């Protein structure tokens, strides 16, 4: 007589969608619904809610944790704590490196084309900023998102004042040429889910001009650069999601402006099955999932 009468009863897999207070994340509900379609129990949770039992989740998905900008050390400590209890995506090691844009300097040193940038840490000389012949400058902090504390100006004195304000607050400033192509061709964001290219977006400029974000087909040189960036920045299989933001330099060649591996908006609404792609890729990370490799069928998005 067989002894294996019943398969073991398994509780549904649980996913925490990590967000923060006071933000509107339009991607949360569609992604939670996509998990539900897969039979996975997912819920939105504030990353800094002290009452959460993180060990009770099979996966913690880092998403709209946008207030970490003001609490980076606390956020990174949280990511390490959660990693000791359960699976965190993207992993703590990635978040640590990616939440400070000095990673761009490392990628440039590795030979990747990055927007020309002067880096001014507290105490550094600022003569370089006065010397550049860029007609317009962008000054921004290395820890930021959504163009927070970012200034565009043709006035050196104003640029230097912003550098001084950032460094006086103990922050490192980045000074770049203003790339006017963000107002016509636009910045291109390439979205990767589960390690595969999913879709791309033409981004509206944030420091002037203005048009809405729309889906776009990336050019071959953009896809090639994004693949190179990801190969240098992460181990194979390490990233659940990634956004590679590219611009074009004066000679037309693509260059990296930002690599978003922490809390990128994924523009899932611009891709018909975007939420399902993310949920499928996330489920493939869960313990005991039979189909470990997500299969996407690319449609127009
Ligand atoms: N050098 C630049 N030239 C033109 N636009 C820029 C430049 N740097 C930033 N911007 C604009 O500001 C936005 C935010 O800057 P970014 O470097 O992506 O930092 P974050 O998104 O983390 O705030 C960009 O998407 C772009 O619209
Ligand atoms: Mg950006």
226 Cα to the center of ligand 2, angstroms: 15
Q: Which two tokens mark 42?
A: 């997912």
Q: Among 114, 182, 188, which is best to mutate for testing ligand 1, by the most ligand atoms less than 8 A from CB?
A: 182
pLDDT at 290: 58
Q: Is the pLDDT of residue 6 over 90?
A: no
- For residue range 29-58, list pLDDT tens digits in order: 999 999 999 999 999 999 999 999 999 999
Nearest CA to ligand 1 atom 15: 147
Ligand of minimum distance to the alpha carbon of 115: 1
Least confident of 57-61, 107-111, 209-213: 209-213
Ligand of minimum distance to the alpha carbon of 187: 1
Ligand of minimum distance to the alpha carbon of 144: 1
- Measure the CA angle with vertex 271, ends 267 and 274; round to 5°: 80
What are the structural domain ranges in the chain?
103-107+181-271, 116-178
- For residue range 251-290, list pLDDT tens digits in order: 999 999 999 999 999 999 999 899 999 999 999 999 877 5
pLDDT band at 130 (very low <50, low <70, confident <90, very high): confident
CATH topology of domain 116-178: Dna Ligase; domain 1 (3.30.1490)
- Tell me yes or no: is domain 103-107+181-271 CATH 3.30.470.20: yes
43 Cα to the center of ligand 2, angstroms: 27
Residue 176 CB–ligand 1 contact under 6 Å? yes
Is the fold of 103-107+181-271 the same as that of 116-178?
no
- For range 135-159, the mean pLDDT: 96
């Amino acid at each position: 007589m067989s002894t294996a009468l019943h398969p073991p009863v398994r509780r549904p897999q649980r996913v925490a969608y990590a967000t923060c207070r006071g933000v509107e994340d339009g991607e949360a509900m569609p992604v939670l619904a996509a998990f539900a379609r897969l039979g996975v129990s997912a819920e939105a949770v504030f990353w800094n809610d002290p009452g959460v039992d993180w060990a009770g989740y099979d996966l913690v998905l880092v998403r709209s944790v946008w207030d970490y900008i003001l609490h980076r050390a606390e956020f990174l400590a949280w990511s390490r704590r959660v990693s000791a209890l359960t699976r965190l995506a993207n992993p703590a090691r990635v978040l640590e490196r990616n939440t400070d844009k000095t990673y761009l300097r490392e990628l440039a040193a590795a030979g990747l084309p990055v927007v020309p940038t002067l880096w001014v840490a507290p105490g550094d000389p600022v003569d370089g900023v006065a010397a550049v012949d860029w007609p317009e400058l962008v000054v921004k902090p290395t820890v930021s998102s959504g163009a927070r504390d970012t200034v565009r100006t043709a006035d050196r004195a104003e640029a230097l004042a912003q550098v001084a304000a950032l460094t006086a607050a103990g922050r490192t400033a980045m000074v770049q040429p203003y790339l006017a192509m963000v107002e016509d061709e636009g910045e291109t964001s390439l979205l990767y889910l589960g390690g595969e290219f999913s879709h791309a977006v033409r981004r509206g400029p944030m420091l002037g001009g203005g048009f809405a974000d729309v889906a776009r087909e990336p050019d071959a040189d953009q896809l090639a650069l994004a693949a190179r960036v990801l190969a240098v920045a992460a181990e194979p299989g390490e990233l659940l999601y990634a956004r590679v933001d590219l611009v074009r330099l004066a000679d037309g060649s693509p260059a990296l402006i930002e690599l978003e591996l922490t809390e990128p908006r994924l523009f899932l609404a611009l891709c018909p099955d975007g939420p399902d792609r993310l949920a499928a890729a996330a489920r493939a990370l869960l313990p005991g999932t039979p189909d470990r490799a997500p299969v996407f069928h690319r449609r127009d998005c």
